Structure 1
Amino acid sequence: MTLARRDSAAGALGLLAGFALDQLLGDPRRGHPVAGFGAVAARLEQRTWADRRAPGVRHVAVLVAGAAGLGVLGERVARDHPAARLVLTAAATWTVLGGRSLQREAGTLSRQLGADDLPAARRQIRNLVGRDPSTLDAEQLARACVESVAENTADAVVAPLFWGALLGLPGLLGYRAVNTLDAMVGHRSPRYRRFGWAAARLDDVANWVPARVCGLLTVGLAPLVGGRPADAWAAWRRDAGQHPSPNAGVVEATAAGALGVRLGGRNVYGGVVEDRGVLGRGRVVGVADIAPAARLSLLVGVASAVLATGLRAVALGMQTQWRRKALVGRFWAVVRCISRVTP
């Protein structure tokens, strides 16, 4: 195997290895790089914040470019060093994924609700959603959990793998920066309505394709959680547009159809009521639906990792071909220049 092929294989397998690390270890307990990025973003916000869109655009541009720039530097360091590329890609993938932690949060909430410990469940759900849980009953908490699992499967698993497959380390780190900034400032609160506009819009753009990939995978994998692909597809076509998010509506609607439940409805965020319509036409969500939702999330994650590995191998192979063509083109350009000046 040539060095170029080994380099391509290492870059592709790094995504799969990173996914495996996430499932094995979950998020680091201390010193998480994403938390470090968030701390840097918060400190920068103290200098950049203003109640206008332009400062928010600059804030996002600096931080996303910085994260992607680190990825570019890593790619250059690892170029033509397959072992280094494999290690760096695996480490970055593990850092930006959140699938295992999502499954753990859902499992903890399921056990708390199964034990009728509503106070603990209301505290736990704050790790997954931004809505006010103080008045939520067991069914509403279960619905919030299933919705968050569906949405975060796209945001924290499918999307980073998609961008990592297309762009390598810059895609992995750049996407996580975009998604983290959306969580930090992409709100409709008085403070961030204008300043956070760029973060929210960029996150919508970055997740548009991954959300639909997640939706298609959910439709295809529905039988493995006792659902029907036709129900998931119908929920997508019929209900996704009712959700205020162009991306969350897709993944939540397909999850509702695959699980045979109803999601959406009335939620309260910081005192603001938001109606997401009805997603799905099944039964009311119960505690027993949390485990299948987490299992569906894992299945979608595995399928995404396999697809991303193949896509990255193809992308790296194409880059190698382009580099070769560029080198050949430069060689013949030099030959032509020499032939013109040689008597």
Structure 2
Amino acid sequence: MRAHRTQLCGAALGHLGDLLLGDPRRGHPVAAFGRAAAAAERVLWRDHRGAGALHTALCVAGAVTAVTALSRTARTLAGAGGATLVDAAVTWTVLGGTGLRQEALAVARALHADDVEGARRLLPNLCGRDPQALDADGVARAVVESVAENTSDAVVGALVWGAAAGAPGMAAFRAVNTLDAMVGHRSPRHLRFGWAAARLDDAAGWPGARLTAVLAALAGPSPRGALRAWRADAGSHPSPNAGPVEAAFAGALGVRLGGTLSYGGRTEHRPVLNSRGRAVRREDIAAAVRLSRRVGALALLVTSAAGALRAGRRAERGAR
């Protein structure tokens, strides 16, 4: 139970740090991990799934080993307080909810000022879409979809793995998510090499995505709409995790997501999520941000309660 209290306090402090401070402005550990992963790719790259699997395994193991060693050292030198501070620092580093919401609201401000070109310039901070082909409503839709998906990736999923495996679990989840963004796409260079990272990201993101969809239904303006859109449309999305999250957000907010989009000069025609909803407008960005904030807060409560329950059961078994 003592270890769980340390973990719980660290998660709460880290979440508070993200709310108050946002992402670290300099020397972000995730950026450092990305540079190390890119250097490893230059050495290990082969047009083969096995080479990509080795790259993924080494990078994730390196992140977990570093955080585990840091936690043990802090506990040895400063006891439970030191371990709590490490958990808080890792949580703050891994969570990205505040940065996500700030970037989304920056685009919303540009759209409200009728500065569509400025909104297009800001959009790459949120997603990899080609912004020049988008009008104001198209930019707004891209932002709402990015807020939905990244609420799962940058907040809820990390908290789920933190509850399951502490700071090392959070580090592993962020490492996998970062590798997927770097190599887990269908470019000629990464079609085979990035296969392992993409599949591992799908598996790691599965529980967080479902929890995000449930919480979006509970916290949104239309729980019934969220559940209906999730049930009807999530399965048609090409991503097994983005589908439930984006469908639930679409139904909760009463808007349509999905449709035609462009990545790297390649046009994709994705199924519409929540066909009963209306087209996204610029005002919907603020609504999506509010929903994302509520989902993040609820996720902290749920994962903390789940961790406490698990720790209590372990204590009961140990006392028998």
> TM tier, shorter chain?
over 0.9
Aligned to 2:89: 91
Letter in 2 for 1:41: A
Q: Tell whether the 8 Å contact from 1:110 to 1:291 is kept in structure 2 after alignment.
A: yes
Distance 1:310 1:82 in 2: 20
Matched, 1:297 2:295: no
| Structure of higher CA gyration radius | 1
Alignment of 1:1-343 (within 5 A): 5-78=1-74, 81-222=79-220, 227-280=221-274, 281-318=276-313, 324=318
Identity across matched positions, percent:
53
Structure 2 CA distance for partners of 1:318 and 1:86, relative to 1, 3 Å: farther
- Residue 298 of structure 1, CA deviation: 0.3
Q: Deviations over 1:38-68 (max 9, x none)?
A: 0101111110111111100000000001111
Distance 2:225 2:65 in 1: 43
Distance 1:8 1:250 in 2: 30
Three-state SS of the structure 2 residue aligned to 1:261 is: coil
Provide the aligned C-alpha RMSD in A. 1.6
Q: Deviations over 1:180-217 (max 9, x none)?
A: 00000011111111111111000000001110000000
How many residues matched? 317
Report the TM-score when normalising by structure 1: 0.89
Letter in 1 for 2:209: A
Distance 1:75 1:131 in 2: 38
Letter in 1 for 2:167: L
Distance 1:167 1:78 in 2: 17
Q: Tell whether the 8 Å contact from 1:16 to 1:306 is kept in structure 2 after alignment.
A: no
Letter in 2 for 1:48: L
Report the TM-score when normalising by structure 2: 0.95
Distance 1:170 1:293 in 2: 30
Point out where structure 2 has 5 or more consecutive residues left out of the alignment. none
